[in-house]
Structure 1
Amino acid sequence: MVRLSTLFPRTAALASMVLMGASGAALSSSFGAGIENSQWYVSESVFECSMVHEVPGYGRAVFRHKAGEQLSFYLESDTALMRPGKGSLVVEAPVWRPGAAPRKVGAVNVGEGRRPVALSSRQAMLIAQGLLDGMTPTVTRESWYDRSPVRVRVSNINFAGQYESYRACTTNLLPVNYDQIKRSRIPFRAGSTSLAEGDRELLDNIVTYVQADSTVERIFVDGHTDSSGSRIDNRALSEQRANAVADYLIEKGVPQDLITVRAHADQYPASRRPADNRRTTIRLQRQGERPELQQANGYEAGYSG
């Protein structure tokens, strides 16, 4: 059972900690759902699957699996209750199941912000397995306000049924997410316009994503060369490289009117290494994104080449 009031959880939590600090008692503040109010909610799409659990008085516990990435887990709270530093993660028996031995998972980093605890894929899987085993994963860390421990317990009640829906969702995720392919690069050998097998796999993933995300409104395909040839030859070669990529995207089902092809020869080098400059870049633009971030000069924030 939750020790603090669920009617005004944030106020009650702060008041409880202040009172404990004033009395000097090293008591713990424990947050967790009981049998009567433990719920898990699944959100499903081809872009992301998540399971959200409300932790009364604290916030939320979230499993999240983005397309193209591994499973993650984090605690989210609007109020900073834990002091930043090293906390502990233990998978223990719930109060209604005494006798089962706890399993210590290890240390966790507690940070600042609305998501103070974000765990690795391995730790997230250990938490999920503990919940499936009927156990209660618990994160413990000192409070912001005194040295008393703050315990956040993740309830296993109603988890297993929703986890099956969540697992089914993950099998339908796209192979990549937007951040992974919004700026992509196809390298070329000297004088070549041919696509390698790995390049086709990357382009196939871009096609799959674009067909699923209706907010992608423009695809910029920019051809480049090194400086070894004449300006006229390099211009033609960069156009052929850009067209090789654009034609492949169109052949695989991307509407032609989404694609803007540009040829730049050796005008925008990515580095001093010729091999880095023999390339075609693919850049996606979603609705509402600023077009100036899609320039071909190779110097926009977070991207080179």
Structure 2
Amino acid sequence: MHKLIALSAVLLSALCQADAALDYGGDIETTDWSVSGSVFECRFEQTLAGYGKAVFYHEAGEDVTFQLETLKNLMSYSQARVSILPPPWQPSARSEDLGVARIIKDTPNLRLDATRTNQFLHALLEGKWPAISHKTYYDQNRFVKVHLSAVSFPQFYQDYLDCVRQLLPVNYRQVARSKVLFASGEEQIDAADIKILDRIIFYIKNDPRIFAVYLDGHSDSVGRRYDNRQTSKVRVEDVERYFIKQGIDPEIVTTRFHGDRYPVASNKTAAGRAENRRVTIRIEQREDMPIPDNLLFKPKTRTQTTASGD
């Protein structure tokens, strides 16, 4: 009997702590959604007044991820609870536990995998409220909860979908460092190589921040060093010709050939030699260059309105 009373006291204490948690997020009067982006990324976010932003971040070529960006993080740098709550007007409905995610010191302070991010979006479409809750870093007995309000979500979700539809199929990180491989004695690019190169060329043509393309030819160590150097030269020049033929400005293309000087694998095995017979492609981007206005996303919902219409 005494153990049952003690357990009840512990559960009651935990419930009281959860109820007493500092709660950040919108309500029916103050929910604040916005959508912004470009052909490179979309940000679908809700302001958490006094705490930061809850962001659905969708980069070109990737799945969407949920991010928590705080003005000043209050949560302990450890595993926080992830859940989906019923809206306040359905207090008897059940919550859904989605496990835990780590709070970190970098920005964003929390990032969810694509699966749980899409569960968040689905919940908001159903009118539910996704939430992150955790103890504070300064007091183990104090708790913080942030929640996303579903108020006005469907309206802004359509803007988010419009933004996603105009994203490029690939992002800079996916093409910044690439390579094409050659069979022994092969000097010309083939259909598989062209597929890789076309992806890179497409990105270069659609990102005005790209200012340089570096092509480096390599060979394995079979044969004379001079012959290997000439082979790597022929290979890289074939790739260069294809870039220029497809409309890439030759002024931004730099070619180099190295023969067998820089292996990336052992030349003692067939698999290693296959890795060494390559042309690498590196593109460089001006990160400080503003994205041109014509590449920015312009949502139909330009000004945020609250549920009350203010």
Give the TM-score taking structure 2 as reference length. Answer: 0.80
Maintained 8 Å contact 2:219/2:276: yes
Which one is further off, 91-100 or 34-43? Answer: 91-100
Identify the match of residue 127 of structure 2 among 134, 154, 157.
Answer: 134
Q: Does 1:228 align with 2:227?
A: no
Separation of aligned partners in 2, 1:208 and 1:159? 34
Match of 2:13 in 1: none
Match of 1:203 in 2: 197
The alignment's C-alpha RMSD in Å is 1.8
CA offsets 1:89-110 (integer angstroms, 9 cap, x no match): 1211221343332222222222
Equivalent runs, 1:22-61 vs 2, <5 Å: 26=17, 27-61=20-54
Maintained 8 Å contact 2:39/2:60: yes
Shift of 1:76: 0.8
Match of 2:292 in 1: none
Shift of 1:36: 1.8
Q: Does 1:252 align with 2:246?
A: yes
- Tell me how many residue pairs correspond in the alignment: 265
Match of 2:305 in 1: none
Separation of aligned partners in 2, 1:233 and 1:102? 69
Q: Does 1:151 align with 2:145?
A: yes
Match of 1:279 in 2: 278
Match of 1:111 in 2: 104
CA offsets 1:209-239 (integer angstroms, 9 cap, x no match): 1111111111011111111122332122111
Q: Does 1:184 align with 2:183?
A: no
Identify the match of residue 114 of structure 2 among 121, 133, 152.
Answer: 121
Per the alignment, do residues 113 and 164 of structure 1 end up closer, same or farther by CA in structure 2, a change over 3 Å counting?
Answer: same
Match of 1:17 in 2: none
Letter in 2 for 1:102: S
Separation of aligned partners in 1, 2:120 and 2:209? 35
Give the TM-score taking structure 1 as reference length. Answer: 0.82
Match of 2:208 in 1: 214
Match of 1:265 in 2: 259
Shift of 1:157: 1.3
CA offsets 1:266-297 (integer angstroms, 9 cap, x no match): 122223232221100011122379xxxxxxxx
Shift of 1:74: 0.9
Shift of 1:71: 1.0
Separation of aligned partners in 2, 1:162 and 1:202? 36
Separation of aligned partners in 1, 2:245 and 2:234? 16
Separation of aligned partners in 1, 2:60 and 2:287? 22
Identity of aligned residues (%): 34
Maintained 8 Å contact 1:80/1:113: no
Separation of aligned partners in 2, 1:288 and 1:46? 15
Letter in 2 for 1:200: I
Separation of aligned partners in 1, 2:107 and 2:209? 28
Maintained 8 Å contact 2:170/2:203: yes
Per the alignment, do residues 250 and 32 of structure 1 end up closer, same or farther by CA in structure 2, a change over 3 Å counting?
Answer: same
Letter in 1 for 2:47: E
Structure 1 unmatched ranges of 5 or more: 1-24, 290-305
Shift of 1:48: 0.7
Shift of 1:64: 0.7
Match of 1:243 in 2: 237
Maintained 8 Å contact 2:51/2:73: no
Q: After TM superposition, where is structure 1 displaced by more than 6 Å over at least 4 residues in a row?
A: none
Separation of aligned partners in 1, 2:106 and 2:285? 28
Letter in 1 for 2:282: R
CA offsets 1:78-99 (integer angstroms, 9 cap, x no match): 3120012222112112213433
Maintained 8 Å contact 1:79/1:114: no
